[in-house]
Each structure stands twice: as structure tokens, then as C-alpha cells.
Amino acid sequence: MPESPSKTGPETAGPRAAASPPPAEKSAARTEAPRVAAASLVGTTIEYYDFAVYGTASALVLGPAFFPSGNPTVSSLAAFLTFAAAFLSRPLGVVLFGTIGDRLGRRQALVASLLLMGVATVGVGLLPTYETAGLLAPVLLVTLRLLQGLSMGGEWGGAVLLAAEHAPPGRRALYASVPQAGPSLGFLLSSAVILPTLHIAGRDGFADWAWRIPFLLSTVLVVIGLWVRTTVSESPVFRDAAQRTAQASAPAPESRFPLATLLKRYPGRLLLGTGAAIGGSAVYYLTIVYSLSYGPKELGIPQNTMLTAASIGAAAGIAITLPVARLSDRIGRRPVMLTGAVGCVLWAVPMYASLSSRDAWLITGAYTVGLMLLALMFSPVAAFLPELFPARLRYSGASAAFILANTLGGGFAPLVATWLNSRWDSPLVLGFYTGGLCLLSMLCLLALPETRDHEFDS
């Protein structure tokens, strides 16, 4: 029988271990925790840098370069469709890397996902455009986007798990939240590359050839990330669970088919966990991706104004990520996340309404408040989702919930927003759409249990 998501204690943690790792081994793992968290952060930053570069390039030039059309809206929709294509392949990444991570180890899955993302991103930078290769160009672009999405399906769950499962007692959310700064850091890094490239090459030069530079530069970042990730140890929690499975007279079903076992035993937690994260995904992608295209094209806001506003807001969100996580270690995940969800419900309409003013200071202030409220949801979720599932299903469970939320709330957000603005030409519709998804997150959080005190080693 599937278990209710409201259950706590042993069902969530799984059966208690027959034998724990030696004290010296646990002590070594705790000592390594800061280095492991840093390694997780490097990887998620690179992964989201690659994603942010594509999202920004979609908003600026990829539509005309790969999907030429006399209608700018059609070109933008086609470019954002390729952005959404990567989200469609993310669930396949959950299956692939979730199985690797739950059966062979968190670290192996993370190294493979980062390598795949790097190859796909460099490939985008080397692609011929439609003018040169015709229909082959968009076909190759979509293929590489699908590979990027496949890698992203395995990245988030592995990064937060590796950090959380090395964390000292009482600081699980703090360490798990370190890789949560990766998406915003990746966006800031992409802006730090794109803005000067735009300035030096000019808008025409960027559209003609310089858009390739940010994609090709990811080669250096991937090499650094791979080196960092191969120097850290495997999760002690995974090693303990794998040892118990190996000693069992008959392997547990989850050791062979973790995702199938997850869907059979924990469907409620998976659905509610997805709903709990969906609002934050919408806030992030509409702010960081869609509005960078919508503001300049539809409202005449300078591109640099939008990039600067989003960058300052992202930096503010990063600044409070660790303090918010530490707070959730003290008072619980749900109170902090519920505060963020309620705040986003109330602030979504004013935030996007600020675009109508076309005032740089007002937009920057509104985005900064919005992305700080997002941090209240986004920071604790790195510990909250893994805590909903037992160790041998944790990679698949946490990844599936987060990636489904990203796909439904974030991947299709630019498409939905483009359609909404074609019907109602007002930034207010962005606020109502985002606020509705944040309301859904609030309701799902109310239906889920508090997980701060759940046993994590078993």
C-alpha cells in the first residue's frame, strides 16, 4: 500500500540500520562536509551557468538565428520551445541518474551529469545557424538541449544529497543549501560574461557571432568542476545503505528499480513534494529568463536594466541563502518555506507590475524583494525534499520531485507567459500566474509533515 505523506518517523527514514559506520569514519565524513558542500556548489553553478547562458541567449538572439520568421513572437516562442525541450528530457535524467545515484553512488552520478552538460553546452556554441545549415541547425539545437536537460535531471538531487549526507547533526539544511546558491551564481556568472561581451561586440556583433563565446567558455568551468568532484568521497549514508543491501539475503526491490519502488510506495510524497517546489520554480524562471526577453521587446526597457535588476536580485537571494537554511535547522523547514510561499503570493503582482513603470530603480527593488522571498522557499527545500524519502530511494525521490516542479513550474513558464501576454497585454498576468503557483506550493506545504527531526542515516 502507498504510504500517506503525512506519516513521519520510521516510514520516512526507512528501516533502522543493522550496523552504523565506525565513529572514526563518521568523524572523517563530518570533517569533509565543507569541502563536499563546496564541490556540490561548483557543480550546480556550472550546470546552471550553462542553462542561464542558453536562457539569456534565447531571449536575445537564438530565435532569429535558428528559427527565422517575419513574426518576432513566433521566433521567440520557437526559441523558448527549445528551452522547454530540455525540461521534457529532465524526467529521463531522473530515471537514469537516479538509478545510478541510488545503486552505484551519488558521486558517480554527479560526475557523469556534469560531463554530459559540458559536452552539450560546448556543442551549442559550435552549431551552424539556420542561414548556414538550414533545418539541420534547429534539429541539432533541440538535440543538444535534450542532452542538457538529461544531465540536469541528475544534477540537483545528487548535489544536495552529497552535501546533506555529509552534514554534521543539526546542520543538514545549512550544508544542503550551499548548492542551492548555484542557480543564482550561475546566472550571475553568465551575466558577467554576457554583459561585457554585449558591450564589446555590440548588439549586432553579439547576434552575429559573439553569442557563442559564453557557451565555449563553459569548457574551462567543466574541467574545474570535474576535478573538484572527483576529489571528494562518496556519501557515508549511501555506503552504509549499500553495505546493508549487500549483506541482505535477498536484495530489496528498491535496490534494482528505485523509481518504480518510489512510485509504488511514496506517490503522495512525490506529488506533494513537487507541488511544494513548483511556485519557486515559476518565480525563478519568469524573473531570470522570461522577463529578460519580455521587458526589452514588449515594454522597451533597456536590456542592461533588466539584466542588472535580475543580477542584483539574484545576489540578494544568495546573500540570505545560508542564514535562511540555518534558521530552518532551528525552527523547521515548513515555517520558513510557508513564509516564503505566502510572501510570493502577495508580492508576485506588485513585482511584475513594476515593469510597467520602466523605472530601473523600481524594477530592481521589486526583483530584489521577490528573489529574497524566493530564497525562503528555495533554501530549505534542499533538505526538505530528501528528508521525505528513505536512503535507498532518496536520490530518485528528491530528484523526481524537484525536477517535476522545475519542468511544470519553470520549463513551461516562458511559453505560458508568452501566450498569456499575447492575449492580455499586461505584465500583471505574470503576477497572477506566478502567484497562483505559489498558492499551490503553500497548500502542498500545509499537507506535508515537518521533516527537520527525521532520521537521515537509515
Write out pLDDT tens, residues 209-229.
888 999 999 888 888 888 888
> With 80 as the cut, is the pLDDT of residue 409 above it?
yes
pLDDT the model gives residue 73:
61
What pLDDT score was predicted for residue 12? 41
C-alpha cell at 165: 549526507
- 3-class secondary structure for the chain? CCCCCCCCCHHHHCCCCCCCCCHHHHHHHHHHHHHHHHHHHHHHHHHHHHHHHHHHHHHHHHHHHHCCCCCHHHHHHHHHHHHHHHHHCHHHHHHHHHHHHHHCCHHHHHHHHHHHHHHHHHHHHCCCCHHHHCCHHHHHHHHHHHHHHHHHHHHHHHHHHHHHCCCCCCCHHHHHHHHHHHHHHHHHHHHHHHHHHHHHHHHHHHHHHHCHHHHHHHHHHHHHHHHHHCCCCCCHHHHHHHHHHHHCCCCCHHHHCHHHHHHHHCHHHHHHHHHHHHHHHHHHHHHHHHHHHHHHHHHCCCHHHHHHHHHHHHHHHHHHHHHHHHHHHHHCHHHHHHHHHHHHHHHHHHHHHHHHHCCHHHHHHHHHHHHHHHHHHHCCHHHHCHHHCCHHHHHHHHHHHHHHHHHHHHHCHHHHHHHHHHHCCCCHHHHHHHHHHHHHHHHHHHHCCCCCCCCCCC
| 98-115 mean pLDDT | 84
The dihedral over CA atoms of 248, 252, 405, 333, expressed in degrees to the nearest 10, equals -40
- 61 against 315, higher pLDDT: 315
pLDDT at residue 11, rounded to an integer = 39
Return the top range by mean pLDDT from 131-145, 183-197, 344-358.
344-358
Provide mean pLDDT across the span 323-345.
96
Choice between 48 and 351, residue whose per-residue pLDDT is larger: 351
Q: Which set of grid coordinates corresponds to residue 275?
A: 507541488
What does the block give as the cell for 86? 530540455
| Torsion sign (Cα): 257, 259, 263, 268 | positive
Residue 341 banded pLDDT, cuts 50, 70, 90: very high
CA proximity to 210, closest of 219, 221, 218, 199: 199
On whether the CB atoms of residues 29 and 233 are closer than 8 A, the answer is yes
Mean of per-residue pLDDT scores for the chain: 83
Segment 430-453 mean pLDDT: 94
Q: What is the pLDDT of residue 252?
A: 55
The predicted model scores a pTM of 0.79
- Band of pLDDT at residue 256, cut at 50, 70 and 90: low
